[in-house]
Amino acid sequence: MGNRGMWMLLAMAFFFLCFFSTTGAIWLTVPTSAIKCVSEEIQNNIVVLVDYVVVANGDDPSHNSTISVKVTSPYGNNLHDMENTTIGNFAFTTRESGNYLACFSVAHSQAEGDVSVDLDWKIGIAAKDWDSVAKKEKIQGVQLELRKLEGTVEAIHDNLIYLKGREAEMRNVSETTNARVAWFSIMSLGICIAVSVLQLWHLKRYFHKKKII
């Protein structure tokens, strides 16, 4: 493989890592009287790394408020629960597909003003420790970038399979709903026809009884 081919592979690796690695640095403003939550839809068996820190108040850093952090799975299982903290990090591997919820609240109710939190949420390929992989597999340079590219392609493939499964589920739900709506419409039409026939029969009987017809 020539130098040109190596550079092309490196460019492809950089492109995939930039656009398909899931990582997000989020700046949250947490009100003192409410809970601020963020959610992320993640498929099964995905590594997640989260770092958070309360951003120092420029006016008086010594009086920064502490926060409470709670992370739950789609089925309500607690994955992280911390109170009275200003900084923290945790990691977990998803055991179920769905929306994972991270909620933040100000621990001290007497705090004045909103509290800013810097949240770094890394998922999948972005959460992998590539330094450890390089040392373990004894690779570096182009080989390491190709290994990252391979991991990214695998992550994209798995995500496409997950999306395909979700699409099939949504299609099944839609077809079931349409079938139920169709049966409900037929039943409603049948009831309306039956009520109309009973009304006509009742009116005809009434007119005959009164000798109107």
Tens digits of residue pLDDT in 110-121 = 556 788 888 888
pTM listed for this prediction = 0.58
Residue 70: per-residue pLDDT: 92
DSSP 55: P
Residue 25: per-residue pLDDT: 72
Q: How far apart are CA 195 and CA 184, in angstroms?
A: 16
Residue 20: per-residue pLDDT: 44
Q: Which residues in the chain show pLDDT less than 70? A: 1-24, 56-64, 108-112, 126-139, 144-145, 147-148, 211-213
- Residue in the block written with tokens 């700046």: 27
- How much of the chain, in percent, has pLDDT values that exceed 70? 70
3-state secondary structure 70-105: EEECCCCCEEEEEEEECEEEEEEECCCCEEEEEEEE
CB 96 within 8 A of CB 35: no
Q: How far apart are CA 51 and CA 119, in angstroms?
A: 6
Residue 112: per-residue pLDDT: 63
Bridge partners of 30, per DSSP, are 115
